[in-house]
Structure 1
Amino acid sequence: MSNDVPELVNPERVLSIPVKKTDAVGLYLPLRKFVATKYSENDVDKVDSILESLNKCRTDMVERIGNLSLPKKRDCLVHYFKCLCMVEPLFTFISCNAGANADPIIFVWYDAFNTDRFSSQRNNIQLEKAAVLFNLGAIYSQIAASCDRTTALGRHLAMEAFKVAANFFLKLWKVFGKDCSTATLDLSLFFAEFLHLLFSAQASEIELQQQINNNHASYTLQQHQCALKFISDFKLYRRAYEMIRTDSAARKHVCSLDQTWVTHLYQKATFFHAEARQRKSFILPKNEQPQQFSSVQYCALDHDEECVTEILVRGICSAARKKIPNNKLTLYVDLILSEYNIFKIIEDGKLVANPWDMPPPYPTNSAILSSSSSLSHYLAFFPLKKSEPLDLYEPVRNHFVHRYSESVAKRVEGLLEMLDKLRKEMQRDDHSLPIRRDCLIRYFTCLCMIEPFFPINTSSNPPIFVWYDAFNPQEHSSQHNIHLEKASVLFNLGALCARIALSCNLTTIQGHRLSMDALSDASYWFILLSFEIKKACGTIDLSQPFIEMMANQVVHLKYEFPHRSITGSHVSAETGTSDVTEQFLSGYRKAHSLLQGVCQPPCLDLLSEVSPVKINNGNLVANATLEPPNLALQNMSLQETTSSNITVEEN
């Protein structure tokens, strides 16, 4: 590579790729027919809405995708991928019985770089899954390219979106590419690796821009970080460029889309090579290097108005980067309880999938939660903390006005409205425990977003958090410390999840699974609480001994719960491999686990149409479509059955 640094024609340019196109194919009727033939009409009823949602998403990919916003396209593809993984076992059977008991299903996908080339695969669901993953990577690359990278928030979103795009192509390269060797060139292992390198390089370059603008770090540390980043960017761009340069077919294929790609990659690789050589002397000796770097610190906590929304957004990122991750996928808690999950398990094990683009309310389940547990005396170990009412909107908004400006306050008032509303909702005793759980999780997320701005000292009336001891309500703590608020919310989340577990019908397989998942969630919240109370001193119930006592009770409950509900012929029939709903749930678990591993940045969820707080033109706005459904209170039996138990125990 030449040592002469070429002048970058457009140094701010980033590359993105188009989505793959596909022909229409009807999935509902052949899949429904196969389920009815292999299983029964009753089984069809259990999964019918999943098949309808699957078919709707695929139809939208053909007919509507061009008219949707990028976040809506992403939501559609994610929902379709989950549905696709749920029905994957059916395709295995269909492939083995093609021409006999099943109608053929042929997927046709066109090359993203050259639509004149296409691949037709019969009964090959792996091609369909690979194409959807490709399109998810492409959509994220387009989201990243569309961000305003002149702002701190725009750079943050673009960096995270390119990382996710790179992750999708890594999965395509390592997991799915080998099953599509006869498909179009854009799905080859070569292109999956190349696109992974390209988007990793662009994400790294934007992260470098964040570091260069970081006036929070010391000069020496900043120079050290930048030197390492220049070297990393050079290696990524060089590998991407060398792959294209040495493969004539790939180079011709890329040039069929845009002839400037190869030149662009060469200029980037050469530029970063020269910069890396110049900055190599800034790299610190190993004994002087910091132990870890955090990308959430690339925007200083200063009075720069442009950084305000970025600070709020990386607050949600810091909440997701806790030291103790929730590795266990608590499937049944969300599928049965969450008001906002688009997939639900309702009575008799029926699976329901709401249309991917429709807002709540969603159906609730009254069969799993019946307070039939003989362990209800344990409720006394999990009381809930009470709090005094508090108006958060006005004092926090006034803080933004005084510290920044009225225009900045307007940019974030959607978040502040949601924050205030969620705090009022979480104190309502007439809500069921699952609804209160959802509310607390969303409130905790909002607290993490505003945490960097506390303590609020510039406000004429700073908020005072007042929380009462859960075991001794006569004692209370009154503080400005937001960590008292966060710790109390985590305490109630752990207690609520434990109460949900104690309210499950343990004589059913789903009730038992729900209780186990709820206890796992409770353990997770108490672990997070053990870290949070180090920053907050409050009532005795927030002391380390009390938290350890409640965490131990959760562990004890797991051993105390009866295990007879997962043994015997009745359960074997429910959980056997021949049960269609169990196969769908297994597919959902795999899809959710894969997407969680790829789509980690929670800040990108703020772009989704189904996020309670959204980013809109750089502003944080409240999503009015996510009103908690009032009908859920009438349909959920948990609230009525547990209220009497709680009253007896607490009195």
Structure 2
Amino acid sequence: MSDHDRELLNPETVLSIPLKKTDPVELYLPLRKLVASKYSESDAQKVESVLETLNKCRRDMVERRGDLSLPMQRDCLIHYFKCLCMVEPLFTSLSSDADTDPIIFVWYDVFNSEHEDGVSSQRNAIQLEKAAVVFNLGAICSQIAVSCDRTTALGRHLSMEAFKVAAKFFFQLWKVFAKDVVSATLDLTLLFAEFLHHLFSAQASELELQQQLNNNDASYALQQHRCALAFSSVSKLYFRASILIRNVSGAAARKHVYAFDQSWVTHLRQKMTFFQAEASQRQSSILPKSEQPDVFSRVTSCALDHDAECVTEILVRGICRRSIKPQQIYVDLILSEYNPFKIMKDGKLVAYPWDTPPPYPTDSAILSSSLSSSSSDILAFLPLKKSEPLNLSESLRSYFVLKYSESVAKRVEGLLEMLHKLRNEMLRDGLSLPFRRDCLIRYFKCLCMIEPFFPMNASPNPPIFVWYNAINPQQDSSQHNIHLEKASVLFNLVALCTHIALSCDLTTIHGHRLAIDALNDALHRSLWLWLESEKASGTIDLSEQYSRVINDEILRLRSKLSHPQSDVSSLPEYPASAYDRSTPRYLDVTEQFLLGYWKTHSLLQEICEAPCLDLLSEVSPVKIKDGNLVANATLEAPNLAMEHELAETQQ
């Protein structure tokens, strides 16, 4: 970046918004009473954990806000939003029952410091509550973005991702949630939601532009072309935001704008003017169509000859490279030690408080090996690949010391420690299926973080990955190529998912659903396996031909399970259209909660597609602290306790 560009793009001039405030309200007692009366006492017992957590989240959101860090406030809001979407059908029942006292939420206008003109809602209570929570999720992400140290590469990246997520929340508020709110405050109107979406999109794009100006991994002409397009894009976003906020119609809206800090309006006008001028000046740098490459991707890495200051940013960027997640929910709801929502065998829903660190107990009772005798030979006996032990963290630490410095190596020690621990656990014998699955997933995420540093050409002793053929253990492949490691881990994930599916008790509803989701998960992982296998010449079990055979068998078994046999479909309350969620049918209260969870789970995955922000969370195994990647000590005790309990169980 030239000195001129540095002067023009000042990273300090970014805006955030405060959170909306609300009055306390009791949720647990009226909602539990409603479930008991509308359904049954046993149904109320099945979902009371969710209702208790819902109540606690809202109380913490209102009363503990000043005591919580910004990432913890984000965790609380996300957890509350999930619970809120799960209980939404109960509010529908409340609004249609004239004999039941409604739950009344009161929310205040965020831009009115005197808290005048607060709005309450009776019959559309859940719509107001959801809109306000989505607003606050966007607001807290904007505050996280502003709190990042944008003078560093890592800080700019985290700030950019947080602004992107904030913009997505306000996009959802604009397009979905604000439309259903009646008599809302002006900050929840469509106009203000659209304005905030464009504002935070512009700020995210501006930070991304800074990274493009710093990036030298392309030719000069291509780099100038990208920057010219970026200046034009940022210009349009600031222009739209500025027009929206200045040209509002109606006396109330204009009064609302004037209640703003007037420096906002001035700031937006200056940004709009600057980027318009820069875009016009750089217009000549845009390449003609015949010279443009086929694909223009967003900046995904630092310059290849990066400096030590970029190391933590590159590691954090790596975890975003595999941010696409499958939409299956039963695997995590039943088997993951890190999902705070659980389905137990008796149908009970358990929701652990948002501030309780993992791991959480899993319910493996639905695994019974009841299907293996009738399944295909390939899937029933698909073994896991074996590997030679390797101290990967030692090799990486030596590399960072040699290429950068001892201080850089210390900044990433937490990640390297976690990497070493997960690889050792991955190779242990006797692990339960759920525990091994979580271990493989977490290890794969760590591999994605360190991938940009491979091949480690500057290292005199790069790590050698040794993996044996799952079909013929006498054959092995030894490479420095990290894609062999990633492909092998993905192979084991595919195999493990099929093992889970083949071990499910299909005489239960949740066992049947878990089997289907496990197979869907296997198919999802197999797509990534193909991509990684192409980059590593491994053993025959990683070949495209063998992968196709496995894929076909998984599809065949899934098709078989998608048409349940008569002994399963005749179970009480068995939903014949369990996987056709668009088919109207009677749902018991647990089914309604699960449907609400599925919807919000999908929505949040779409919005919060920046896993690097999870590294700011207090409940992340590896977290960012003062620009360093450290192991989270608060999770060490429960992890050790779980390992001790697991060891005793296996004895």
The reply to whether TM is greater than 0.5 is yes
**Secondary structure in 2 matching 1:459:** coil
Percent identity of equivalent pairs: 68
Residue pairs, 1:214-613, within 5 angstroms: 214-247=215-248, 249-320=252-323, 326=325, 328-373=326-371, 374-375=373-374, 378=377, 379-561=379-561, 563-564=564-565, 567-568=569-570, 570-572=572-574, 577-613=586-622
Unpaired segments of 5 or more residues in structure 1?
1-6, 644-651
Partner of residue 76, structure 1: 76
**Secondary structure in 2 matching 1:477:** strand
Aligned partners of 1:502, 1:366: CA distance in 2, in Å?
A: 13
1:92–1:396 Cα change, 3 Å: same
- Whether contact under 8 Å (1:31, 1:90) holds in the other structure is yes
Aligned partners of 2:530, 2:74: CA distance in 1, in Å?
A: 36
Residue pairs, 1:120-269, within 5 angstroms: 120-123=120-123, 124-247=125-248, 249-269=252-272
1:418–1:636 Cα change, 3 Å: closer
- Whether contact under 8 Å (2:327, 2:602) holds in the other structure is yes
Aligned partners of 2:434, 2:299: CA distance in 1, in Å?
A: 32
- Whether contact under 8 Å (1:312, 1:452) holds in the other structure is yes
Aligned partners of 1:309, 1:542: CA distance in 2, in Å?
A: 32
1:47–1:512 Cα change, 3 Å: same
Partner of residue 617, structure 1: 626
- Whether contact under 8 Å (2:302, 2:310) holds in the other structure is yes
Aligned partners of 2:177, 2:42: CA distance in 1, in Å?
A: 34
1:543–1:33 Cα change, 3 Å: same
What amino acid does structure 2 have at the position aligned with 1:350?
Answer: K
- Whether contact under 8 Å (2:375, 2:557) holds in the other structure is no
- Whether contact under 8 Å (2:358, 2:619) holds in the other structure is no
Aligned partners of 2:644, 2:511: CA distance in 1, in Å?
A: 20
Residue pairs, 1:49-88, within 5 angstroms: 49-88=49-88
Partner of residue 116, structure 1: 116
- Whether contact under 8 Å (2:11, 2:151) holds in the other structure is no
After alignment, is 360-369 or 237-246 more displaced?
360-369
Q: Could you report, residue by residue, the CA deviation over 1:55-87 in whole angstroms, capped at 9, with x for unpaired residues?
A: 000000111012111100000000000000000
1:329–1:573 Cα change, 3 Å: closer
- TM-score, reference length from structure 2: 0.92
What amino acid does structure 1 have at the position aligned with 2:596?
Answer: G
**Secondary structure in 2 matching 1:293:** coil
Q: How many angstroms does 1:607 deviate by?
A: 1.4
**Secondary structure in 2 matching 1:615:** strand
Aligned partners of 1:482, 1:288: CA distance in 2, in Å?
A: 34
Q: How many angstroms does 1:394 deviate by?
A: 1.3
After alignment, is 293-302 or 8-17 more displaced?
8-17
What amino acid does structure 1 have at the position aligned with 2:508?
Answer: T
Q: How many angstroms does 1:548 deviate by?
A: 1.4
- Whether contact under 8 Å (2:465, 2:485) holds in the other structure is yes
What amino acid does structure 2 have at the position aligned with 1:286?
Answer: K
Aligned partners of 1:12, 1:416: CA distance in 2, in Å?
A: 32
* 2:96 corresponds to 1:96: yes
1:11–1:494 Cα change, 3 Å: closer
Unpaired segments of 5 or more residues in structure 2?
1-6, 579-584
**Secondary structure in 2 matching 1:467:** strand
Partner of residue 38, structure 2: 38
After alignment, is 50-59 or 35-44 more displaced?
35-44
After alignment, is 397-406 or 229-238 more displaced?
229-238
Q: How many angstroms does 1:303 deviate by?
A: 4.1
Q: Could you report, residue by residue, the CA deviation over 1:160-203 in whole angstroms, capped at 9, with x for unpaired residues?
A: 11111111111101101111241100000110011011111111
Aligned partners of 1:224, 1:235: CA distance in 2, in Å?
A: 17
- Whether contact under 8 Å (1:215, 1:300) holds in the other structure is yes
Task: Give the superposed CA RMSD.
Answer: 2.2
Aligned partners of 1:344, 1:634: CA distance in 2, in Å?
A: 22
1:352–1:216 Cα change, 3 Å: same
**Secondary structure in 1 matching 2:13:** coil
1:201–1:566 Cα change, 3 Å: farther
Aligned partners of 2:530, 2:587: CA distance in 1, in Å?
A: 43
**Secondary structure in 2 matching 1:536:** coil
After alignment, is 558-567 or 450-459 more displaced?
558-567
What amino acid does structure 1 have at the position aligned with 2:136?
Answer: N
1:277–1:309 Cα change, 3 Å: same
- Whether contact under 8 Å (1:365, 1:636) holds in the other structure is no
**Count of residue pairs brought into register by the alignment:** 627
Q: How many angstroms does 1:159 deviate by?
A: 1.1
Q: Could you report, residue by residue, the CA deviation over 1:439-496 in whole angstroms, capped at 9, with x for unpaired residues?
A: 1011011011111111224334322111111111111112221111111100000000
After alignment, is 25-34 or 255-264 more displaced?
255-264
Q: How many angstroms does 1:298 deviate by?
A: 5.0
Aligned partners of 2:419, 2:272: CA distance in 1, in Å?
A: 45
Q: Could you report, residue by residue, the CA deviation over 1:378-430 in whole angstroms, capped at 9, with x for unpaired residues?
A: 45441111111111121110100000001100111111010110000111122
Q: How many angstroms does 1:138 deviate by?
A: 0.2
